Amino acid sequence: MERRKIQILCVQETRWKGDKAKVLAEGYKLFYSGADHRGRNGVGIIVDKELKEEVCEVERINDRIMSMKLAIGKSLSRVICVYAPQVGCDDSEKEEFWKNLDEVVMRVPENEKMYLCGDLNGHVGGRENDEESVHGGWAFGERNEEGGMIVEHAIYFLEELVYSNNSVQFALLFECSSRDDQLYLMEYIKSNMKPGIDVTYFMQMFNKHAFNILSDHSDVNDVQATVLCLELLAELSASSDYQKVMQDDVTFVSNIYEFLKGMHLVGKQDSRHRFAPDQNLTNLFNSTQHDVVYGVKATCVKLVANLCWSHVINQNLARTSECFPVLLECCNLDAKNPLIKEWAVFAIRNCCEHNAANQELIAKLNLTSGHVIDTGSGLNLSPGVNIATLRKQ
């Protein structure tokens, strides 16, 4: 440990009976949870001479699981040492192990960083369908039953973190992940919409970073993350579980409007800009969809539509923030943004529903924009609909 500069080491098969602590050479200290009555198994955690004074709590569950809480700097960390039953052990013993581990993990407070270490005694093998969230793709050997249980519980733990509606817990997970893993997490959530998502985290993420991508010099990774964040928010805005929270956040709604206006402006000013519209519709069948900002403007218009749905404050804010001219200009076909025209019509309809001032303004703008939009109640749509051809009534 000293040569490799390891401060915490989880060990298995200690085979010492009893639940004790023992001082080792060079000031290291071993805390162990003893073997069973036959002298099998046993787990332990060794800490170096610096960290042994920071140990706050040791919980010995049984001969296969123990945990340790340490105060490291200003944060608390929880190290869980495990030794899963091997191939050949009774199924009841395996089930009991995973049940106990689930209980230990779920008891870890949200303010503690958790590290799960040890020997899970399974061959995971290659990645199978819908396992990208927990399997990196590297593989060795074939999967066995125990490996399947490892993957199953990894997915379970991930979903507990993602869908717990716990902002502190989710922030730790997201911010400790690599950029690629963050992108995958957003894709995973977008494809697996469930209650419990911390939508405010993604709203704050948009508020903080979105306007940076309007520059031509923005990093492509930042652009990709912001676009994906916007796509996720657009999906969440169509859900009754999240729509009201998003609609009632005036700062977020205002930033969405300003972002749409900014994106539209830079695209008009420079035809070579990434946000410039492409009205050559033959490009719909070319490689346009591989552009990192493909569809982002239509997604933003969709989000505006859902934020204004049956929400007078946001309807009025769309008017006072001068969003309507932009929405009217979005009623043009754009090869980079399929369905932007339909979403723009839907957004204008939602802004004008039961709002006489907005209807009056749109009527005036219609005279000069060249786009005639019917603001009557005939477009009987709701958030999240799949846009089809709209008939004026």
DSSP string, 64-110: SEEEEEEEETTEEEEEEEEEPPPTTS-HHHHHHHHHHHHHHHHHS-T
- Mean pLDDT, consecutive 10-residue stretches, the chain (393 aa), reads 94 90 93 86 95 96 96 93 94 94 90 92 87 81 90 88 84 88 92 94 97 90 95 97 97 98 96 91 69 94 98 98 96 92 95 95 77 49 41 34
Structure confidence at residue 193 (pLDDT)? 92
C-alpha span between 322 and 84 (Å, rounded): 62
Q: How many degrees, rounded to 5, is the angle at CA 173 between CA 58 and CA 75? A: 45
Query: Do 203 and 112 fall within a single domain?
Result: no
Q: For residue 100, is it within any domain?
A: yes
Residue 47's H or E segment, with its range, is strand 43-47
β 75-83/43-47 pair status: unpaired
C-alpha span between 185 and 182 (Å, rounded): 5
Query: Do 248 and 372 fall within a single domain?
Result: yes
Query: Do 72 and 204 fall within a single domain?
Result: no
Q: Phi and psi at residue 377, in whole multiples of 5°?
A: -85, 10
C-alpha span between 220 and 183 (Å, rounded): 13
> Which of 82, 104, 121 is a domain's end point?
121
Nearest to 179 by CA among 111, 112, 124, 229: 229
Query: Residue 51's domain is classified under what CATH number?
Result: 3.60.10.10
Structure confidence at residue 388 (pLDDT)? 38
Query: Do 225 and 358 fall within a single domain?
Result: yes
C-alpha span between 14 and 270 (Å, rounded): 69
Could you tell me the residue range of the domain that residue 17 belongs to? 2-121
Query: Do 219 and 110 fall within a single domain?
Result: no
Structure confidence at residue 389 (pLDDT)? 34
Burial pattern 32-70, b for ≥16 Cβ within 10 A else e, equals bbbbeeeeebbbbbbbbeebbeebeebebbbbbbbbbbb
Structure confidence at residue 386 (pLDDT)? 40
Query: Do 87 and 219 fall within a single domain?
Result: no
155, 133 in Cβ contact below 8 A?
A: yes
Q: For residue 379, is it within any domain?
A: yes
Q: Whole-model pTM?
A: 0.78
Query: Residue 373's domain is classified under what CATH number?
Result: 1.25.10
Q: Could you say which DSSP state residue 332 is in?
A: S
Query: Do 380 and 269 fall within a single domain?
Result: yes
Give the chain's radius of gyration (CA, Å). 28
Query: Would you say how long the chain is, in residues?
Result: 393
44, 31 in Cβ contact below 8 A?
A: yes
Q: For residue 127, is it within any domain?
A: no
C-alpha span between 381 and 15 (Å, rounded): 67
Q: For residue 307, is it within any domain?
A: yes
Q: For residue 158, is it within any domain?
A: no
Nearest to 227 by CA among 212, 244, 245: 212
Structure confidence at residue 287 (pLDDT)? 52
As beta bridge partners, residue 46 has: 9, 30
Query: Do 209 and 346 fall within a single domain?
Result: yes
C-alpha span between 47 and 55 (Å, rounded): 9
> Which of 57, 87, 121 is a domain's end point?
121
β 29-33/65-72 pair status: unpaired
Structure confidence at residue 37 (pLDDT)? 77
- CA torsion, points 97, 98, 104, 110, in degrees to nearest 10? 160
List Cβ neighbours of 53 (8 Å cut-off, separation of 6 or more): none
C-alpha span between 163 and 196 (Å, rounded): 4
As beta bridge partners, residue 83 has: 119
Nearest to 305 by CA among 353, 368, 367, 362: 353
> Which of 106, 121, 136 is a domain's end point?
121
C-alpha span between 342 and 237 (Å, rounded): 17
Q: How many degrees, rounded to 5, is the angle at CA 368 between CA 364 and CA 374? A: 55
Structure confidence at residue 101 (pLDDT)? 95
Q: For residue 352, is it within any domain?
A: yes
Query: Do 357 and 233 fall within a single domain?
Result: yes
352, 377 in Cβ contact below 8 A?
A: no
DSSP string, 286-316: TTGGGSTTTTHHHHHHHHHHHHHTT-HHHHH
As beta bridge partners, residue 69 has: 57, 78
Q: Phi and psi at residue 236, in whole multiples of 5°?
A: -65, -35
C-alpha span between 212 and 217 (Å, rounded): 9
Q: For residue 45, is it within any domain?
A: yes
88 three-class SS: coil
Count of domains observed in the chain:
2
Structure confidence at residue 382 (pLDDT)? 47
Q: For residue 237, is it within any domain?
A: yes
C-alpha span between 280 and 82 (Å, rounded): 60
